[in-house]
Amino acid sequence: MENKNSNPHTKYPVPPFPQQDQETPGTEEQLMPTADHGETSYKGSGKLTGKKAIITGGDSGIGRAVAIAFAREGADVLISYLDDVEDEDANDTANYIREAGRKAVLVKGDISKEDHCKTLVEKAVEEFGQLDILVNNAAFQMARETLQDIPAEEWRYTFDTNIHAMFYLCKAAEPHLKPGSSIINTTSVNAYSPSAQLLPYAATKGAIQNFTANLSQILLDAGKGIRVNCVAPGPIWTPLIPSTMPDPETFGQDTPMGRPGQPVEVAPAYVFLASDEASYIAGATIPVTGGRVTI
Among 46, 75, 33, 101, residue whose Cα is nearest residue 184: 75
Q: What domains lie within the chain, and their CATH numbers?
A: 52-288 (3.40.50.720)
What does the pLDDT read at residue 1? 38
What does the pLDDT read at residue 5? 87
pLDDT tens readout for residues 101-131? 999 999 999 999 999 999 999 999 999 999 9
What does the pLDDT read at residue 295? 86
Among 43, 51, 13, residue whose Cα is nearest residue 252: 13
Q: Is the peptide bond prior to 263 cis by the omega test (within 30 degrees of 0)?
A: no
Residues in the chain: 295
Cα–chain-centroid distance for residue 144? 22
Rg of the chain in Å (alpha carbons) = 18
- CA–CA dist 113, 118 (Å, integer): 9
208 contacts: CB under 8 Å, gap ≥ 6 = 136, 162, 163, 166, 185, 186, 187, 188, 191, 230
pLDDT tens readout for residues 55-113? 999 999 999 999 999 999 999 999 999 999 999 999 999 999 999 999 999 999 999 99
Catalytic residue numbers read 201
Q: Given its phi and psi angles, is residue 71 left (phi above 0), alpha (psi -120 to 50 degrees) or beta?
A: alpha
Residue 40: pLDDT band by 50, 70, 90 thresholds?
Answer: very high
What does the pLDDT read at residue 3? 60
pLDDT tens readout for residues 120-176? 999 999 999 999 999 999 999 999 999 999 999 999 999 999 999 999 999 999 999
pTM reported for the whole predicted model? 0.97
Among 169, 168, 167, 161, residue whose Cα is nearest residue 203: 161
Residue 267 has pLDDT above 70, yes or no: yes
